[in-house]
Amino acid sequence: MARKIDIVDGRAALEAVRSADASGVKPQRTDLATAVRYLLQLLDEKAPGNSVEVRVPPFGAVQVIQGPRHTRGTPPNVVEMDAATWIAVSTGTERWADAADGGRIHASGTRADLSDVLPVRP
């Protein structure tokens, strides 16, 4: 299992990403990676399970939501998006439906709608 990101480190990385975005500059890759992984960690804590795989390439992926366990091959329920979209929907600065309707979330499977478990509270 991956090392758990401390709440202080996760919040600091998230703030650094937000600050960079507000200034119109590209966030540091390490801050972006830590923020994404921290928010994935919070999702895993909020909605543990193995039926949906949430991917935010290249930074991380997590299996969440109770239901049938996935063990091999491509999972039947997959959600994938870029880091900026993940940060927006997981913190509540953008609604899941708006990002999905805008084509920035690629979701497949009957359990791939995360609107009931988002936002997480960083």
3-state secondary structure at position 94: coil
Q: Please, are residues 81 and 102 in contact by the beta-carbon 8 Å criterion?
A: no
Tokens of 16: 């650094």
Cα gap 115→97, rounded to integer Å: 7
Paired residues of 51 in beta bridges: none
Main-chain phi, psi angles of 8, to 5 degrees:
-65, -45
Residue 34 has pLDDT above 60, yes or no: yes
Of 40, 45, 46, nearest to 79 by C-alpha is: 40
Question: Which tens digit of pLDDT belongs to each residue from 87-116?
Answer: 999 999 999 999 999 999 999 988 899 999
Question: Which tens digit of pLDDT belongs to each residue from 41-98?
Answer: 999 999 998 889 999 999 999 999 987 665 666 667 999 999 999 999 999 999 999 9
Question: According to the model, what pLDDT value does residue 1 have?
Answer: 47
Whether cis (ω within 30° of 0) applies to the bond prior to 68 is no
Main-chain phi, psi angles of 64, to 5 degrees:
-140, 180
